[in-house]
Amino acid sequence: DLTEKLAGLDLIEQLFVLRREMKSRIRYELGRETIRRPPKNRGMNKPVTYASNIWNRGYANCAGHCVVFASALRALQVPYSILAIRSTIEGKPKHAILEVGFPEDTKIREVHQRASDLWTEFYGRHTTVKQDPETFEPKRMKLFTGLKFMHSPEGSEAAKRKGVGHWLILDPVTKVGYYQHLFEHGYMIHEGKGFSFALTPEAKTWLELTNPEAEGMQSPESDEQEDT
pTM value?
0.77
The per-residue b/e assignment along 100-123, b for 16 or more CB within 10 angstroms, e otherwise, is: bbbeeebebeebbebbbebbeebb
- What does the DSSP 8-state code read for residue 92? P
Most confident among 7-21, 39-53, 126-140 (mean pLDDT) = 7-21
Tell me the per-residue pLDDT of 92-127, one tens digit each, with 9 for 90 and over: 888 999 999 999 999 999 999 999 999 999 999 888
The residue count for the chain = 228
- Place 27 in a pLDDT band, splitting at 50, 70 and 90: low
Mean pLDDT of the chain: 79
Look at residue 1 in the predicted model and tell me its pLDDT.
Answer: 75
> Residues of the chain with pLDDT > 90: what percent?
40
Q: What are the phi and psi torsion angles at 126 (to 5°)?
A: -95, -10
